[in-house]
Structures are given as structure tokens and as C-alpha cells.
Amino acid sequence: MSITGSMNIWKTFPKGGLTPLPMKTRLKDRALWNASIPPLSIVPLLQHKGYPATCLVHPRETVREGMLIGRADSFSGAHVHSPVPGTVKYIEDITLPWGDKTPAVFIELGGEFSRLGKTVYTHPWDGLRADRLLSILADKGLVGMGSGIPVHRKLTIPEGRTVKTLIINGIECEPYLCSDYRIMVEKPEELISGARIAAAITHPGRTIIALSSDGKDAIGALRKKIKELKADIEVRSLWPKYPQGDEKQLIKVLCGEEISPRGTALDTGTVVLNAGTTLSIYEAVVLQKPLVEKTITVAGRALRKQANLKVRIGTPLSDLVEECGGFVQMPAKIVVGGPMTGWGVSELSAPITKTTAGVLFLSAKEVHDSRKTNCLNCGRCLRSCPMGLQPSALYKWVEHSAYEEARSEGLLDCCECGCCAYTCPAQLPLLREIRAGKMILHSGENV
Amino acid sequence: MKQDIRVSSSPQIHDGASTTNIMWSVFFCLVPSAAWGVAVFGAPALRVLCIALVSTAAAEALCARLFGHPLTLWDGSACVSGLLIGMTMPPGVPFYVPVFASFFAMCVVKWTFGGLGRNWMNPALAGRAFAYFSWTHAMTTWTLPGVLRATDALTGATPLGFLKKEMARNTAFYRSPMEYLRTNGYPRSLFDGGLTDWLNAQILDPLGITLPQGYVDFFFGFMGGSIGEVSSLLLLAGTVFLLARKVLTPAIPAAYFGTFGLLVWIFAGLPFSGEYFSGDVLFHFLSGGLILGAFYMATDIVSSPVSLSGQILYGCGAGLLTFLIRSYGSVPDGTALAILAMNVCVPLMNRVLRPSRFGAGKAGKGRPA
């Protein structure tokens, strides 16, 4: 097989989507570097989808690097570890970019690192049973970087189900973001080990690493390592189109199966793990390292320099701005996450969490704001929708509070990829209204 | 610093397309062709264009005022309609014709349904059709470009009108519409003869093709017709720009030209040679308002279908109707009427031809009721 996988570089999901996307190439070739350790870390006790962990520390208490500071109380919870050594200053409620309220531990840096700069020991995992591996993943507080679901929960396959395909998702289809790409280029061996561990837990029929066909370096690095290690893993490159990294679209392309909009990947016998998550599985099992570090892209024209960084969880955004040389112009928007699905924030005190894939400081020119007009019925939203919906129609139903009509038009199928609002020439807040409509329908269901 | 930063829900970026820049790019792509009309038809053409633009803008402003909307002239949609109305009129039309056409287009077609984005017909075409049926004589009295004018005659027919008028007579002596025009004295420019000879000698002869005289005039715009429809070259240049900027969706014009060309090729030769598959496709593409209609009118984003399948059906329908009207109707061109008829079908197409929903009826927890 050739390096580019020539026969399938055009392969992609069939319906809608956006191509080409801006701002991808400029950052791709910048190697990862370690960001400085923040003097004050803000560690939320809730960093995934679920409930906050129970706080185990008190103000003025000394914590070690990697010490457990928040205990998950249930199967769907995730432990939280201290990313730095130091002293707990106080514990205070904060609001996360996506609106969840959670207590957060403020840790002032001080004392000696127990891992940083020390010799790293590797731990063999060959003989370990699946349940032992799962409990390691739970102990280390692993959370899916894309989905926010605890990894031990995701990899626990219910009785009677079999996994046909394990997909390592290295697509990273959002503009700007390329931290997963850097992981695949710089740490192919670790990534492959992570994939093998995940395979040892789920026993899939086949394992696929999926990535974008414009990432030649990563494809080359992975193919070479797979050959060297004689790993039973396929590398599949797909046409760079947004939202190719969405679980449903990815499964549609790689396995040829469509999941019902409200179904899960496991319905088709598939488990999808993000590339960053796979690396954290390796680090948790082989290096016995809890999830306290994260690879992110920090980008946007408001910054003096843009970078792919390894940062401690809990680093406030203000430290990242400093790391990148400060602002050359005032950002018009600050975004936590990718530009298509990320959350806008106004405060530089927001911390990096386990699911943050990047932070963007966008200039007004990158945001492309213009005046809102009437819907033109141009159909761009419909033609860009990967779920085959009519976003403008949904928008109008929701605007007129006709939620049941919107439901029958597929409101709840929306995957919130944002393609519709991205292409709308009338600048209508299509996704905002659709999301509002979904929330109203969901709250009705729970009553 | 804080107040400068906007917090909004995703997506946080936009591709930069806006109503304003779509409308103004269409406007500026039409300008060269309108300017060509002024160049060949002279001051009367400029007068018609100006009257159409000013009265459309006035009608838009008046309606916005009446319906209590903020002034929407900046979005450019009224200016595009105004320019198109002017461009689809004969150069020598009396001043009140574009005025009434503009007011009908804006007040009746566009604003009674709620203004921008709500009209169910292309306002410019509806205005033109209104004028056509109200002042048929004025709307069918054509001027020839200055270079084609014989000393005594100021008026002359469009090629299609010329053909249609004489079709009742026996055309079987002629092999093609172009030959018919040539033999019966439809004027041609010296430029046409010169360039055709040069093309044949330098490029086409080695390929074994001969281009008959007449087509060069059609392509560059030396023929009778509406102000803005005669220069195929400049219209196509604007189209290339709009396609490259992704303002135009290629599906509609592709289906339109495809269907129309195929039908012409199969059937349009019958009155001449009596044979199938001998129609003169090039003649029909370059004459009348087909290029203006297919690229700038049928693709009007407001009054065309939203889904790809809808757009293809719409283009095919417009092609079929244009062919039927041109070949068998009483109107020589038919582009405008065909597109208007298809506009009317658009709401139905949008209802029926929609994309299939992802994962419908597939494995999983099943759909909510």
C-alpha cells in the first residue's frame, strides 16, 4: 500500500459538510512544546459530562503532583488529580465555558515535582486482564477528549455485545486544531500502544486509525511504526471535510453503517476513541500517569504567535496568552474548543480542562461578522447539513415556538456541527435557535 | 477589554458570505454586459437602465417605509432587480414601461409577500412579464446595434423574432436557422466576417470544422435584442467569476442548458432539414435571453429550489419549457416565461424533494415519535 493510500483519499461521508476549511495548514508543522507551569492552577472538579467529583482536599493543604484531589462517586464519574505540586489556596465555584457550574480547587505552585524531570519507568501490561486495565483507566481519571465520556465507561462493553471495529479517531476536522495531528506525528509508537491496550480491553475484530488525507507526515509516521511493530492496525486516510471527525459520519464511511441519530456507536458494534484519548490510555497504563496534561492548539490572529502546546490541566487562559507572546490586537472572540463547536468566553481566567482541544483568540477578520438579513431560502444550510435536515425550516419553527413541528422535521437529529450557520449568507443564528429548541424539547421529555 | 469580546454560541466563525456581498457581486457581474448594451444601442439604452434602477430603488424604499421595515437598499437585492429589469427591455422602450415594471416587481411581487427572501417569483422577470403583456408592442419593437443599421431603418428584429415571424412560410429550403437569417438579409457586421474567416483558417480548419458566418456577431453581441442579453461573452465572463466565488450553484444552469441543448439538438432541425438530431444548438444558446436567463434569473437564490435534486428538476423543467415555447409557442424567446412558470413550482419542489435524513430507520434506540 502506498504512503498516501491513493485509492481512498477522496473517500468521505456522502451528505453535506464543508470543504475546504481555513487555517489548517499554517499550524500543522509546528512541533509540540511544553508550556510553562502556571503559578496558579484552577482545577474544576467537573471536567466531563456528569457530576462533579467529591473534593478530598482542604484550603492550605499541601498537594503533590498527580495526587487525587477529587473522587468520583459513581461509574459515570471521573477522578480529578492535582496537575502541579503546591498548596490549595481556596475552593470556589466557577462556571465552565459550556455553562456547567462546579467547585474548583485553586492550587498555588510550590514544592517539588514528583514526575516532572524524573526518570520515567514503563510498566508492562501484557498479562493484565481487561477489568484490571479498566480500573487503571478509571483510577487515572481518563475522559474521552472529544466526547467527555469517562474512558472506563466507554470501554466497558455491556454483556452480550461484541465490538467489530475499534476506531482511533485522528481526523480532527475542525479548522485551526491540529494537536491530535502533532501527537500522531511525534508519538506514533505511544499511540499504537494505546490502541493495543484499548483493543486488549474491547477485543475488536479490527482496529483502524482514521486520519485526514492531507496529513501526510502522520500517515507516514504511523504506517512506518505499524510495520516495525507488526501491529494489526489499519491506517485509513479520508478526504478532509468537516465534520468527518464526527462519530456518526466516521462510522458511516469506515463501516458503511448509519447509526440512528440518537443511537450510539456501540449499536453498530463500534468503539471510537480520540487520538489524544488513546495517548492518555498509554500514559495511564504504561507510565501510570494520571490525566493532568493535555495537548492543545492555541491559535488565532490576535496572538503574536500560535502554537501546539502541552499544558497542565487547570492552566488559566491568561497564562496561555503570555506563553504565546501576548496579543497583537484585541481578540473579537475567545473560544474554548474548536471554532465550529467551541464555546465563547469573555474571561481569561477560564481554565484548561480534560476536554479542551484548543483555545482560539480570533480577530474580527477571522470571525466574519456581518449584518443579519431575512432568510433568502438559498438552501445553503440544507445542502451543508450532514444529517439531511433543513436547518432554515427548523429555525423558523423554533422561532415561532412550534416545537412539535420542529421535532417531526428532525430537530433532535441535529448533531450541532454548525455547518448551517457557518454558510448562512443571511447570518442567521441557525444553530443557536436549533439548540434552544432542542433544550426545550428535552426539558419537556424529562418532566 | 471585556466589552469588546463577543460571547456567542457555536459556530464561532463564518465563511464570510453575506446577502450583501452575494447581491453586489451579482450586480457588478451584470454591469459589463449592461455597459455593452449602452455601447451598441446608444443613449436610449442608458436612459432605460437608469429609469429602471432609480424607479426600483424608489419602489423598494417606498415599500420598506409602508411596511414599516428599515431601509434595505444597502443589501443590493433591489439594485440587482432594477438592473435586470432594465437589461431585459428593448433599448427604445418608452420611459413609463420600465417605471411600471419596476413598481410591479417591487411592490406586488416582492413586498406583498414580505420583502427580501419571501418572494415566490423572480421580481425582475415578473416585472418584465407584466410589461410584456401590458405594452406588447413597445416591448417587441427592437433597435439594431448602431454598426448593423442600414441608413434608413432604425428598427429591426431579434434573430429569434425574425425566425419566428417567417417560420410559417416554407423553411425547408434552408438547412439551418443561421443560413435562413443570412439568406434573408439579417444584418451582419464586418467584424463577424473577418473574425470567422480568421478562426476558420487558423484554428478550425486543421480540426476539420467550419464555423459558418453569423455566430461571432451573436457571441460578441452584435444583434438585435434586449439591452443586457446580447453580449454572451460578457455575461459568461461574469458567470465564471460568480461560479468561482461560489455565488452561483452550477446545478441549475447545467440542467437548464443540458435539457434545452439536448431537445434542440434532437428536434429543432425538423422544420429545416426534416431530420432528427440536426438542431443548431449553438444558435439557440447564443440567441435570445437564454444565457442571461439561465445564469442570472433561474439561479436567483430566493426563487429557486433549495435541494440539489430540486435544482436539477427545476433546471430541466425550465429547459423543457423554453424549448417548447421557442419551437411551438407564439413568443419568440420564452426564457422569461419558462423560468417564471418554474418559479411557481418551487414551493412544491421544496416540499417534496428534500434530502433523506441521516440514519432514518437504522439500528439503535429508534426515533422519538
pLDDT band at A3 (very low <50, low <70, confident <90, very high): very low
A chain contacts of residue B365, beta-carbon cutoff 8 Å? 260, 262-264, 267
A377 vs B75, B117, B311: nearest CB = B117
DSSP states of A371-388 = ---------HHHHH-TT-
Here the cell at position B319 is 429547459
A423 vs B17, B20, B354: nearest CB = B17
Find, among A304, A386, A298, the residue nearest to A342 by Cα.
A298
B chain contacts of residue A340, beta-carbon cutoff 8 Å? 10-13
| pLDDT tens digits for range A326-381 | 999 999 999 999 999 999 999 899 999 999 999 999 998 888 888 888 999 999 99
Please report how the helices B96-103 and B123-134 are oriented relative to each other, as an axis angle in degrees rounded to 10.
Answer: 130
pLDDT of A318 over the 60 cut: yes
Residue numbers of B between 300 and 339 with CB closer than 8 Å to A: 301-303, 305-308, 311
* Cβ separation B8–A258 shorter than 8 A: no
A426 vs B19, B364, B368: nearest CB = B19
CA A253 to the chain's CA centroid:
20
* Cβ separation A422–B13 shorter than 8 A: yes
By DSSP bridging, strand A270-274 and strand A343-345 are: unpaired
Q: Pick the residue of A365, A382, A405, A420 with the most B CBs within 10 A to test the interface with B by mutation.
A: A382
Nearest CA in chain B to A392: B306
Please report how many Cα atoms fall inside a 13 Å half-sphere around the Cα of residue A237, on the Cβ side.
24
A chain contacts of residue B363, beta-carbon cutoff 8 Å? 257, 259-260, 263, 267-268
B chain contacts of residue A422, beta-carbon cutoff 8 Å? 11, 13-15
A376 vs B117, B311, B362: nearest CB = B117
CB-based contact A57:A20 (threshold 8 Å): no
Q: Pick the residue of A19, A343, A377 with the most B CBs within 10 A to test the interface with B by mutation.
A: A377
Quick one: what percent of chain A has pLDDT higher than 70?
96
CB-based contact B368:A404 (threshold 8 Å): no
Nearest CA in chain A to B248: A378
Which value does ipTM take for this structure? 0.88
Q: Please, which residues bridge with residue A299 across strands?
A: A360
Distances (CA, A) of A74 to A46, A69, A194, A401, A420: 13, 16, 25, 38, 38
Give the start-to-end residue ranges of the domains of chain B: 19-139, 168-351
pLDDT of A419 over the 50 cut: yes
B chain contacts of residue A423, beta-carbon cutoff 8 Å? 15, 17
* Cβ separation A379–B306 shorter than 8 A: yes
Mean pLDDT by 10 residues, chain B (369 residues): 75 90 95 95 94 96 91 90 96 95 95 89 95 93 80 70 73 78 83 90 86 90 91 96 91 97 93 86 92 95 94 97 91 91 95 88 44
Residue B334, sorted as left (phi over 0), alpha (psi -120 to 50) or beta, turns out to be left
What does the buried/exposed string (b/e) look like for B276-313 if buried means 16 or more CB atoms within 10 Å of the residue's CB? Answer: eebbbbbbbbbbbbbbbbbbbbbbbbbbbbbbbebbbb
Nearest CA in chain B to A422: B14
By DSSP bridging, strand A165-170 and strand A270-274 are: parallel
Residue numbers of A between 331 and 360 with CB closer than 8 Å to B: 331-335, 337, 339-347, 360
Shortest distance between the Cα of A430 and any Cα of chain B, in A, equals 10
Residue numbers of B between 57 and 76 with CB closer than 8 Å to A: 72, 75
CB-based contact A431:B10 (threshold 8 Å): yes
Second-level CATH architecture of A40-109 = Beta Barrel (2.40)
Give the start-to-end residue ranges of the domains of chain A: 6-26+122-286, 40-109, 292-367, 380-446
pLDDT at B152: 55
CB-based contact B85:B133 (threshold 8 Å): no
pLDDT at A76: 86
- CATH of segment(s) A6-26+122-286: 3.40.50.11540
Range ranked top by mean pLDDT from A238-247, A303-312, B6-15? A303-312
CB-based contact A141:A288 (threshold 8 Å): no
B chain contacts of residue A260, beta-carbon cutoff 8 Å? 359-367
pLDDT at B208: 84
Average pLDDT value over all residues in chain A: 91
Alpha helices in chain B (DSSP H): 19-41, 43-66, 77-87, 96-103, 123-134, 136-139, 159-166, 177-183, 190-199, 205-207, 215-220, 232-244, 251-267, 281-286, 290-292, 308-328, 335-352
A chain contacts of residue B115, beta-carbon cutoff 8 Å? 374
Helix (H, G, I), strand (E, B) or coil at A92: strand
How far apart, in whole angstroms, are the C-alpha atoms of residue A419 and residue A431?
9
Q: How many CB atoms lie within 10 A of CB B323?
A: 24
Q: How many CB atoms lie within 10 A of CB B252?
A: 26
Shortest distance between the Cα of A408 and any Cα of chain B, in A, equals 8
pLDDT at B369: 34
Q: Is A199 on the interface with B (CB under 8 A)?
A: no
B chain contacts of residue A419, beta-carbon cutoff 8 Å? 11
Shortest distance between the Cα of B7 and any Cα of chain A, in A, equals 5
* CATH value of A292-367 in 3.10.20.600, 3.30.70.20, 3.50.50.60, 3.30.70.260: 3.10.20.600
- The size of the A-B interface in CB pairs under 8 A is 204
How far apart, in whole angstroms, are the C-alpha atoms of residue B87 and residue B47?
11
